[in-house]
Amino acid sequence: MNLIQDTLNRDRRAIARLISHIENGEPDAREALAVLYPHTGRAYIVGVTGAPGTGKSTLVNELAKAYRRLDQPRTVGIIAVDPTSPFSGGAILGDRIRMRDLAGDAGIFVRSMATRGSLGGLARATADAIKVLDAAGYEVIFVETVGAGQAEVDIAKTAYTTIVVEAPGLGDEIQALKAGIMEIADIFVVNKADREGADSTVAAIRMMLDLNHASHVEGQGWRPPVCKTIAVRGDGVPALVEEIEAHSAFLRESGLLGQRERERVTTEFEYLLHEQLMRQFVSRVSPEQWDELIERIVRREVDPYTAAEKLLREMT
């Protein structure tokens, strides 16, 4: 199996194996990504995030089917991220349970990923897995993540369109939404619209949008729509697809797509540079020297700013 060539030919085993190598930080993954890079940048990336159990996987399942049913069907890649247990380092990745309808369609590839280590690490492994699916020719890529933490914000920066999924009866949740997720939502979905309270959830989101008109997206001419869906029945999904397409068209026509891509590439590049510089630098400091410096800062013999400056001066 040639991981690179076979990935470009959309061989599912090669794609899957390459994503594993990325997750495991194996050296050949980096080489492969370098070769694949010119083949990326064609996929449209959609982030789907929201609180646990709001119906994200069910919705992604329906969205994938909808994209496959278009007059000009588009191939779909799905990356479903679930948290790693901080106690054991293991994880149960259960999003496929809701995606059984997608089995047997060669135009769909589903991969589950655990968050594993650091947040930055997750964002990068996910971003690299997206590149693999992109290079393999999947045209629309959905990335499902849980919650509203920094990881979601990082992943949202990777997506062109970010969908925030809510469900009725999560009053406190809406409060929490305000904190950071407002800024990343391009489209809101109130799923489980068959349940009581869907309309008041819609109203609550609209109200927050009104209070927030200075939010970055809206400032640039896009007010996030609020869609109601019943994902278990597929209701409201065609309208959601239309909103995704409308947002995509808006980004293209306004020139924001290029700007988002540039911001994303900048963040990614800075992160990598930061990581590599740090590694290079730290490798030149002996552990004893390092420990001693930390100890001196702890004892208040030197402040961290001065210590950093001094170390940098000594090492360069």
Ligand X SMILES: Nc1nc2c(ncn2[C@@H]2O[C@H](COP(=O)(O)OP(=O)(O)OP(=O)(O)O)[C@@H](O)[C@H]2O)c(=O)[nH]1
> Which one of the spans 88-96, 103-111, 284-292, 299-307 is the region binding Mg ion (CB under 5 A)?
88-96
The amino acid sitting at 141 is I
Give the list of residues 6+ apart from residue 69 with CB closer than 8 angstroms, or none.
Answer: none
- Judged by CB under 6 A, the residue of 7, 43, 44, 56 near ligand X is 56
Q: Does 265 bind another protein (CB under 8 A)?
A: no
Contact status, residue 22 vs residue 128, Cβ threshold 8 Å: yes
Q: Is the dihedral of CA 95, 97, 101, 102 positive or negative?
A: positive
CB 232: neighbour CB atoms within 10 A? Answer: 15
* From candidates 95, 154, 166, 186, binder to Mg ion by CB under 5 A: 95
> Contact between 294 and another protein (CB under 8 A)?
no
* CA–CA distance, 186 with 176 (Å, rounded to integer): 17
Q: Does 185 bind another protein (CB under 8 A)?
A: no
Number of Cα atoms under 13 Å in the Cβ half of residue 99: 27
Pick between residue 145 and residue 215 the one whose CB is nearest to ligand X: 145
Q: Which region among 17-25, 152-160, 174-182, 254-262 touches another protein (by CB under 8 A)?
A: 17-25
- We find the least distance from the C-beta atom of residue 164 to Mg ion, in angstroms, to be 14
- Quick check: 16 binds another protein (CB under 8 A)? yes
User: Does residue 13 bind another protein (CB under 8 A)?
Assistant: yes
Residues 3-42 vs Mg ion: string with x where CB under 5 A?
----------------------------------------
Residue 169, interface with ligand X (CB under 6 A)?
A: no
Positions 113 through 172 that interact with another protein (CB under 8 A): 114, 116-117, 121, 125
Note the Cα 190 to chain centre separation in Å.
20
**Segment interacting with ligand X (CB under 6 A) among 12-20, 47-55, 106-114, 199-207:** 47-55
Given a contact cutoff of 8 angstroms between Cβ atoms, the answer to whether 44 and 140 are in contact is yes
Nearest 5°: CA angle at 120, between 99 and 155?
40
Beta-carbon contacts of residue 130 (< 8 Å; ≥ 6 apart): 43, 45, 77, 79, 141, 143, 158
Chain-centroid distance of CA 313 in Å reads: 38
CA angle (281 as vertex; 279, 282 as ends), nearest 5: 65
Q: Is 57 in the site for Mg ion (CB under 5 A)?
A: yes
Residue list 125-154, contact with ligand X (CB under 6 A): 146
Encoding tokens for residue 142?
């959905």
The entry of another protein, Mg ion, ligand X, none that residue 246 binds, CB within 5 to 8 Å by partner kind: none
Choosing from 139, 194, 245, 268, the residue that interacts with ligand X (CB under 6 A) is: 194
Phi-psi region at 21: left, alpha or beta (left = phi > 0; alpha = psi -120 to 50): alpha
| CA-to-CA separations, 261 to 159, 173, 174, 266, in angstroms, rounded | 9, 30, 29, 8
Q: Which does 230 bind (CB under 5 to 8 A by kind): ligand X, Mg ion, another protein, none?
A: ligand X
Question: Residue numbers of the site for ligand X (CB under 6 A)?
Answer: 52-58, 95, 98, 146, 191-192, 194-195, 230-232
Question: Residue numbers of the site for another protein (CB under 8 A)?
Answer: 12-13, 15-17, 19-20, 23-25, 84-85, 87-94, 96-97, 100, 103-104, 109-112, 114, 116-117, 121, 125
